Chain A
């Protein structure tokens, strides 16, 4: 296990199943009703809506991305500027992307957008091309914390693109007080019974409980992991569900009052309902990063660099992150944001809060223990 010393102040992210709605929709809408699992898993390694055309001539670039990071306007603008035609495929979870690349079905892709923990795994498995820093001028503009992120020291294989946190979104009007820390869930679990949801993600849920107990969210110490599990067992009867997206429709009408959520989703929902608020709890939370990387198998590296330069350009990047309410690791991009975003502590927490936050790092074989306890928690 490659634990690195400087993990003490990390900044990154995990989301095995953020954007689950998209995933469910794409699978079910295309008629692939998920009845037979074995068959479904085989098929869902490519839930992308638009299968890439096979032609990968010199002037074509295939990118494999989260749905939010590409839109038709960008593609048209890029083609106009560079003459390179881009074909974008969409994935809905890091694991889906990894599975497709590992199964050899991703040979055409020149650019991918893995999250931090996935970058760490892919670097370990030697799946990524080392970045030629001559070709990407923007690295010096990265904020100090992202100059050498723990998942990819020195940004050798990836360039940080966006980041955010995993905290609590809550109905401030209904609760009548400001949340400060995770233990609020436990202290008020009687009154909040069936009015809370947590993410359907073992690492995020175990991770915040570990932080609350004062441990690392990526601990490999079985006693600490068990302790977090015991805490969650107490909380579980009061939970409505473990859901990554389902909370959105329910927190707006007030069916639930608190949801464990990614900042990007939380801020999106808050824009629809001003009763809601979002906090990064005081004991610390997950900080996650989405990076941009080039797979080793990329057929058209030149075009991949052209795309990287295009999307990392402060003007284009600031448009994307302000539209999506994501945080940017790039100083120039940050400077171009409207001041209400720059000053929004929910989007850019203070340094003091960030210092308590931690990326989810790989936990090696301990993942078996996490997964077993998670199964126990969600089935018992």
Chain B
């Protein structure tokens, strides 16, 4: 009797003990700060050091003004292009490593892809400046083989390049994890039944790796949407993104913490919505197999 009770109690306490540290961590460092941002976002044009205004939706309404919508649109545009580019570049690589590369090389190849992540994204962006600047590596190479120089530093092109370079390793890792689990018997079966390779790829490989594609794309989209360093360093005179806009509200001359929090909430909501979509549809796609 007592033993049974002990067992039951144990069953109850065990998960609590296991989850408590992470739970407290998340509560203090994620939930509470997010709630603080939420509160700030409901104080229209609140500046630190001023008397707080009445609660209202002013900050959120302000977001819908054309100039701010343009900034949001640009951030989304960068993120979408970056995601597509990562997918296009990353899928063949992940496919090759997972299915075709010799076993003993596999870990080394993956390591090679992850290695750049061990340096700071700031350094990697500076490296791109060195490559792309008018008298940089790219243009001196072009000049040496008799081609005219191209100027892409401080344009939208350089921002997309920098973003895609920064986030490609994540895409490759996630796609690799998904492709590695690919059921090869299905590929063989399809081939046996007379499907030409392109058809096997489109009808068997891609559907099986869809959860990986979704997860990788979403991760790249989310991180590039809020990236600060790359647009800041590689962007030109018209490259204001959401990250910079939010930065300006908090630490720029206007110090409009209320509006900054409203923009931050929008970013948090967008990211949350994306993750919710992934949880819902990412799994269902996986279940169809």
Contact = CB atoms under 8 A, between A and B. Distances in A.
A140 interface: no
A28 B242 contact: no
Interface in B209-263: 223, 226-229, 232-233, 235-240, 242-248, 250-256, 260-261
Nearest to A32: B120
Interface string A326-366: 00000000000000000000000000000000000000000
A42 B246 CA distance: 12
Contacts of B74: 379
Contact of A375 (B153, B226, B245, B261): B245
B264 A41 contact: yes
A95 B229 contact: no
A103 B71 CA distance: 29
Interface in A19-51: 24-25, 28-29, 31, 33-42, 44
Contact of A236 (B229, B238, B247, B267): B238
Interface size class on chain B is: 35 or more
A249 B133 CA distance: 10
A36 B271 CA distance: 10
B160 interface: no
B53 interface: no
B120 A29 contact: yes
A79 interface: no
B15 interface: no
Contacts of B34: 38
B151 interface: yes
Contacts of A35: 223, 226-228
Contact of A125 (B49, B129, B133, B154): B49
A132 interface: no
Q: For chain A, what secondary structure do more than half of its interface residues adopt (helix, strand, loop), or is it mixed?
A: helix
B226 A37 contact: yes
A341 B235 CA distance: 37
Interface residues of A, number: 56
A40 B228 contact: yes
Contacts of A37: 226, 228, 242-243, 246-247, 264, 267
A42 B33 CA distance: 8
10 closest cross-chain pairs (CB), A and B:
A28-B122, A34-B228, A38-B264, A371-B254, A379-B240, A239-B237, A95-B251, A378-B240, A28-B120, A241-B154
Interface of B: 33-34, 37, 45, 48-49, 67-68, 70-71, 74, 120-123, 129, 133-136, 151, 153-154, 223, 226-229, 232-233, 235-240, 242-248, 250-256, 260-261, 264-265, 267-268, 271
